[in-house]
Structure formats: C-alpha cells, structure tokens
C-alpha cells in the first residue's frame, strides 16, 4: 500500500493506493477560503495551513482506505516544483513518517504526477503518447515514450494557461479562483462577438504564449462600460476561446511533430469545459484526466511513484524541496 502526500501549493492532499494502482482514497483539504480575500495564494498562509491540516488529512486518507499504518509498503511525496515553504511541510512530514516506520520513501516531481493522472482515467493511454499539461504554473507538451520516459518538447514563453485564466478573471472583476469564474461568466455567449487573435497563429515553432492575449483583454476592459454585463460575458467567452484555440493549435502541431496518435490532457486547466469539448476536434485518440484529478491531488503522486525507485537512506536524509522542475 502506498501513502502519497502532495503540498506543492495551497491544497493539502493525501491518498492511498495499492501497488498495482488501485486507488483506495484521495483526500484534498482545500485552502481556497483562506486565500480568496487576497485574490490569490499567499505562500506563508499556505505553509502554515499545511502544518495544521496535513496530519488530519493523512489520517482521513487511511481511514477512508480502510487500512492501518502497518499495511503501508511505501510513502511518496511531491518534492517539487512549487512553493518552497509549502513543499517543505510535505517533504519534512513524509521523511519523518517514513523514517519512523522504516518505510521506503519515493520523491515525485509534481509535473510527473500530472502526467501520471492519466492512469486514473477510464481509458488510460497505452504506449507512447503526447501529453498537454496546462495548469496554473505550467503549460507544456510532454512526449512520453514506450518506456515511460518524459521529454518536454514545448513550454510557455511567458504566462501559463491557468495564470492567464486567473489574470483574465481579475481584469474582469471576478473572484478567486479565476478559471472557473471566467468560464461561468463566458457561459453560452458568442466567442466570436469580440474575438481575440489566437497567439502565435501561423507559426510552427513549438511554444506557448499568453501575455499578449492578457494585454489585449486589459485594453478591451478599459473600453468597456462597467455596467454592460452582456459585453463582459462576450469578452470572457472570446478570451477563453482564444486560450483554448491556442492550446489546441499547439497540441496539433506537437502531434504532427512527434508522429504521436494519442493525446492526453492533464493539469488544472484540463477541467475547463470548453477545452474538454474542443479537444475531440483534434486528429488523435484523446484521453483526459478525470475532473477529480485535474487539480493538485495526491492520487496522481501515488500513481507516479509506482514507476520510481525508492530513495536510499542517505538520499532520504538529504532530500530537499525544489522550486523548479527539469520538465518545466
């Protein structure tokens, strides 16, 4: 049995799965209410809340899985990337937990975890495939080979897709978290009524860019009558559509470049309804992380840990959190 811990940002997460990948529990203690007043995640608050929530969250995960501590065979933890203070809480807890119980410890890259979240879908990809990872901190195309090796072939030159959604929501006067709020405002409005130019359109270099789109929205909002709800809704729809079209365009280019015929969608932005709808227009077999595994969660960390070797005692003692990933 694997106990997995994830504290890379503002969600305190623990999960339990079997060694063959059967998920028994996945618990997420959300901190959204703690950060909503500030319009975004406050790192110091996130770290302190992890300290308070992690022990009870792990206990709940074990209870929901219906197992005791002595049935565990390993511990897995996110070691990065993310907020250093938040990560250190999870890493320190996992090291102490594993060391006290003489359990192997596996350090997992958060981005690898997102890729592994596809294993939680009803139709996980088999063999080599391409993964579109779109989250609040990263937007990547990751090529997965037949042996499970990961190679990043495209990344954003500026903002991440999730960051673009959050900044767009803030410009439109919406609450936190911004992505769902912007999607809700967009509703059934015509995205072509106030269309934005899709970033990097016509270019064949493998990259993403969202900063110009954010600037275009900012200028459009400045010209907007603040009382015109219909116009704000149309702007939200057009902005969302431009982000989605950009992601689809780059994914299509990545499929052509690699020759892959299967595409996976993961990350927080993978929960966006419009993106999930439009993904089916691509010439590929598409698989998506389940909605419950799109945001930060420990279930994906547990899945990723199954293919990774445990740390030696010396490696476990020296394990530290890291803010950046070789994949990102």
Residues 165, 80 within the same domain = no
Going by the DSSP 8-state scheme, the letter that residue 128 receives in this structure is S
Tell whether 230 is covered by a domain: yes
In this predicted structure, the answer to whether residue 171 has a pLDDT above a threshold of 90 is: yes
66 confidence band (pLDDT: 50, 70, 90): very high
Structural domain contains residue 49: yes
User: Contact, 94 vs 8, CB < 8 A?
Assistant: no
Average pLDDT (152-161) is 96
For the segment 119-142, the average pLDDT, to the nearest whole number, is 96
Q: Check residue 229 and give its pLDDT.
A: 85
Specify if 84 maps to a domain: yes
Same domain, 44 and 174: no
Q: Is the peptide bond before 116 cis (omega within 30 degrees of 0)?
A: no
Question: Counting beta carbons within 10 angstroms of the beta carbon of residue 182, is it exposed (0 to 12), middle (13 to 18) or buried (19 or more)?
Answer: buried
Instruction: Please tell me the predicted confidence (pLDDT) of residue 194.
Output: 87
Say whether both 260 and 165 belong to one domain. Answer: yes
Domain match, 266 and 240 both: yes
Task: Please give the model's pTM, rounded to 2 decimal places.
Answer: 0.94
Confidence of residue 51 (pLDDT cuts 50, 70, 90): very high
Confidence of residue 36 (pLDDT cuts 50, 70, 90): confident
pLDDT class of 77 with cuts at 50, 70, 90 = very high
Residue 120 maps to a domain:
no
Query: What mean pLDDT, rounded, does the chain reach?
Result: 94
Query: Does 44 lie in the same domain as 21?
Result: yes
Same domain flag for 139 and 258: yes
Paired strand residues for 2: 17, 74
Torsion of CA 161, 163, 168, 174, to 10 degrees: 130
Evaluate whether residue 121 is within a structural domain: no
In the chain, DSSP finds a helix count (H) and a strand count (E) of 11, 10
Q: How far apart are CA 303 and CA 281, in angstroms?
A: 29
Mapped onto helix, strand or coil, the DSSP state of residue 169 is: helix
- Residue 40 near residue 49, CB atoms below 8 Å: no
What CATH number is attached to the domain comprising 166? 3.30.420.40
* pLDDT for the residue 39: 80
Mean pLDDT score, 34-50 = 88
Q: pLDDT tens for residues 232-244?
A: 999 999 999 999 9
Range of the domain at 306: 2-115+294-318
Q: Is residue 42 part of a domain?
A: yes
DSSP 170-195: HHTT--SSHHHHHHHHHTT--TTTTP
Same domain, 104 and 154: no
For residue 326, being part of any structural domain is answered with no
Report if residue 185 sits inside a domain. yes
The tally of domains found in the chain comes to: 2
Averaged over 75-102, what is the pLDDT? Answer: 97
For the record, the structure tokens of 298 come out as 């420990």
Structure confidence by residue, pLDDT tens digits, 13-23: 999 999 999 99
Q: Which residues pair with 75 in a beta bridge?
A: 3, 105
List pLDDT tens digits, range 181-191: 999 999 888 88
Beta carbons within 8 Å of 171's beta carbon, 6+ residues apart: 214, 217, 218, 221
Distances, alpha carbon 99 to alpha carbons 74, 75, 141, 252, 313, in Å: 11, 10, 36, 46, 9
Do 156 and 62 lie in a common domain? no
């Amino acid at each position: 049995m694997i106990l997995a811990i994830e504290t890379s940002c503002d969600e305190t997460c623990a999960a339990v799965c079997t060694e063959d990948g059967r998920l028994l529990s996945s618990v997420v203690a959300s901190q959204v209410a703690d950060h909503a007043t500030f319009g975004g995640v406050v790192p110091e608050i996130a770290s302190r809340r992890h300290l308070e929530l992690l022990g009870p969250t792990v206990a709940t995960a074990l209870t929901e899985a219906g197992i005791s501590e002595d049935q565990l065979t390993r511990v897995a933890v996110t070691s990065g990337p993310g907020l250093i203070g938040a990560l250190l809480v999870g890493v320190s807890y996992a090291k102490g937990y594993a060391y006290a119980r003489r359990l192997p410890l596996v350090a997992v890259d958060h981005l690898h975890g997102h890729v592994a979240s596809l294993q939680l879908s009803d139709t996980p990809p088999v063999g080599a495939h391409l993964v579109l990872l779109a989250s609040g901190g990263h937007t990547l195309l990751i090529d997965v080979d037949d042996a499970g090796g990961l190679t990043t072939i495209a990344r954003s030159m500026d903002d991440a897709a999730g960051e673009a959604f959050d900044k767009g929501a803030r410009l439109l006067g919406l609450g936190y978290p911004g992505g769902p709020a912007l999607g809700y405002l967009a509703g059934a409005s015509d995205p072509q009524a106030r269309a934005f130019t899709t970033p990097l359109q016509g270019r064949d270099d493998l990259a993403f860019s969202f900063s110009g789109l954010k600037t275009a929205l900012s200028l459009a909002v400045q010209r907007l009558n603040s009382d015109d709800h219909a116009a704000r809704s149309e702007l939200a729809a057009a902005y969302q559509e431009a982000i989605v079209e950009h992601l689809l365009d780059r994914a299509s280019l990545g499929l052509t470049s690699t020759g892959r015929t299967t595409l996976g969608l993961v990350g927080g932005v993978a929960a966006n309804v419009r993106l999930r709808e439009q993904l089916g227009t691509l010439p590929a077999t598409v698989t998506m992380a389940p909605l419950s595994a799109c945001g930060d969660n420990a279930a994906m960390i547990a899945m990723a840990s199954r293919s990774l070797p445990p740390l030696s005692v010396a490696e476990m003692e020296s394990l530290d959190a890291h803010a950046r990933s070789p994949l990102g």
